[in-house]
Amino acid sequence: MKNKYKKIILGTAQFGMKYGIANKKGRIKTIEIKKILNFLQKRKINYLDTANAYKVSENEIGKYFKRNKKKFKVITKYSIKGQRNILSQFRTSFLSLGYLPDTVLAHNHHDYLDPLFHKQIKILRRKYSIKNIGVSVYNISELQKILKYKKPDIIQVPINILDKRFINKKIIKIIKKKSIKIFGRSIFLQGLLFKKKEYIFKNFRNVKKKYLLLQKIAKNENVSLSELSLIWVNNLRHIDKIIIGVDSLEQLKKNMIIIKKKISKKSLLQIEKINLNNNKIIIPYLWKIKQ
C-alpha cells in the first residue's frame, strides 16, 4: 500500500523552544511529544528535523528512543560560527539522541562555505555512517554560491504559497541535474499563514491583492490558507520531502487529514501564477511586526 505521508518530515523546533509567530502554547511538553512520536511511528513517518540550536529538542527525541527503543531518521544542523567545532556538536547530538543522526546539514550557507566545516565533516564521515550532508539556504544567491563551491546531497529551502523562489524551472533543472535532493521548509511561513488577513495587511504592505486572490482559491477549495499551502507544496513533484512543524498532536492529526485532500488543476495553475516577490514578507528575519 502506498504511503500517503512519504514526503513528510516532522520539524522539531517546538520540541525545544517556542517557535513560530502563531505559537501560543510555547514549547511542547514531553508527554505530548511522546504522543506525537507514537502517532508518527504508526503512520510510518520516519524523519525528524532538528538542530543543536533548538535547545532540548535532541534530548526530547533521545528520551523517546531510550524509553521505547524506536528510532527515527534524524536530520540535524550545526553551525561553525561561535563553537568552531562540528565534532563536539556531533558528540552532543549522539549523547542526546542515544544514536547517530542520519543526515548533517550546515545551518546556513556561511557555515557550508567554511572549509573547516568540510574538514570536520570529512572526519565524521570516515568514522561514522552519516548518509547525507547538506545545507539550509534562504535565498537564490546563497544557493548559487553553494553550487559553485561544493555539491551537497540535500538542500533545505523555504517554500510556501507566498514564496516560490526555489521552484523556478531553471533553478530546479540545475539542482536536479546535480542529483541534489530538495527538502521544503517554512510551509506555513513560520506560522504567518495561520494569522488573520487583518494582521497580514497591518504588518505587510503591497500584499493585499495577491493575498486575497490566494484566499479566494482557498475558499473555493474549502480549505484555509495554511491548508492550501500544505496541499500545494506536497503536490510539487520536484520537492523530495517537506518539513512541517506542529504545536500539538491534534494539529498533527489535522495536517495528516488535510494532506490527503486534492485540489483542482485549475487552482494549482492559479497558485503557480501568483508570485509575491516581496522579501519583507517571505523572509522572516526582515519582519517588523506590530502586535
Q: What is the CATH number of the domain that holds 105?
A: 3.20.20.100
- Does any domain span residue 273? no
- Does any domain span residue 284? no
Q: Structural domain tally of the chain?
A: 1
- Does any domain span residue 145? yes
Its domain, for residue 19, covers 8-195+234-262
- Does any domain span residue 203? no
Work out the average pLDDT over 9-36: 84
- Does any domain span residue 280? no
Percent of residues, the chain, with pLDDT higher than 70 = 96
Range 32-61 burial, b when 16+ CB lie within 10 A, else e: bbbebbeebeeeebbbbbbbbebeebbbbb
Residue type for position 49: D
Work out the average pLDDT over 128-134: 93
pLDDT at 1: 45
Pull the grid cell for residue 23.
505559537
113 confidence band (pLDDT: 50, 70, 90): very high
Residue type for position 107: H
Q: How far apart are CA 236 and CA 41, in angstroms?
A: 25
Work out the average pLDDT over 249-261: 94
- Does any domain span residue 117? yes
Percent of residues, the chain, with pLDDT higher than 90 = 79
CA-based radius of gyration for the chain:
19
Whole-Å CA distances, 254 to 31, 69, 214, 230, 248 = 19, 27, 21, 11, 10
pLDDT(21) > 80 = no
- Does any domain span residue 224? no
Q: How far apart are CA 60 and CA 15, in angstroms?
A: 7
Closest CA relative to residue 90, chosen from 43, 126, 138: 126
